[in-house]
Structure 1
Amino acid sequence: MFTWKEEYSCNIKSIDDQHKELLKIGSSLYEMVRLKKHEDNYDELVQILNELKDYTLYHFQAEEKLMEEYGYEELFLHKFEHKSFLKKLEGLELDELDEKQFDMTMDLIVFVANWIEQHILKSDLKYKEFFNSKGIS
């Protein structure tokens, strides 16, 4: 589910490395549920969510900075997609998450996995040719 595939590569090492790290964080969330689904994982879950939020914000800022620097024409749309993802993460109610850990975590895993795959394969790969034509790798 959270495995790097070469088809995700945008041929920009820093961005590919960041995408790999996001997949790693998603994988740790999945593994926590898989291995400890009948345990109270609230503290670990909050820690992973905070790591996901922080790293996602770092990645989005790096990606958007690169887009701004080189005048990528779909920057506004890309920023909108980024904000939508962050809004979903920030909108999680921690009290509800504590009460419904398994169900909400599974929903979150599916959301994150789908978003990462769809965003990378659709939105991020749109800029691959643009940046590669400018010699960015």
Structure 2
Amino acid sequence: MLVWKDNFSIGMEIIDVQHKHLFDIGNQAYLLLENGLKVDKYDDINLIIEDLERYTIYHFKCEEEYMLEINYSGYENQKRDHTEFIDKIHKMRLVDIDKDQQEAIEDLLAVIFNWLIDHILGEDRLIMGI
């Protein structure tokens, strides 16, 4: 489970709230992984992936609009990273989840948590000059 810490904050409340929601989506996947009582997780996995894809599109649009507004020099790199992430999430919807549901959740978790940690700490904080 990933816990929000102050060092994840970029100092812009609307973006921080959106990042926290992405943490929540990741933690939904984590709780599903840990749920040993639920045998068939196929529908839940798909719902999490759909929610993640939908929300990241919204979130990235907000970030990108802000970067354009402030004339952020790293906009093109961020835009490319955002597109690649959405493509990666979209491809996860095409994978045969039923083949190994636990592995599908583990892969989803790795994608979400690695993105959140690497991208927020490595790229998003630069937008605000942190």
Aligned residues: 130
Q: Distance in 2 between matches of 1:37 and 1:59?
A: 33
- SS of the aligned residue for 1:109 comes to helix
List gaps (5 residues or longer) in structure 2: none
Which residue of 1 is the match for residue 116 of structure 2? Answer: 116
Q: Structure 2 length as normaliser, TM-score?
A: 0.93
List gaps (5 residues or longer) in structure 1: 131-137
Letter in 2 for 1:126: L
- SS of the aligned residue for 2:43 comes to helix
1:93-112 → structure 2 map (5 Å cutoff): 93-94=93-94, 96-112=96-112
- SS of the aligned residue for 2:11 comes to coil
Deviation at 1:94, TM superposition (A): 4.1
Q: Distance in 2 between matches of 1:105 and 1:62?
A: 27
Which residue of 1 is the match for residue 41 of structure 2? Answer: 41
Letter in 2 for 1:9: S
- SS of the aligned residue for 2:20 comes to helix
Q: Distance in 1 between matches of 2:118 and 2:71?
A: 23
- SS of the aligned residue for 1:39 comes to coil
Q: Percent identity among equivalent residues?
A: 33
- SS of the aligned residue for 2:92 comes to coil
RMSD: 1.6
1:1-137 → structure 2 map (5 Å cutoff): 1-36=1-36, 39-94=39-94, 96-129=96-129
Divergent runs of 4+, >6 A: none
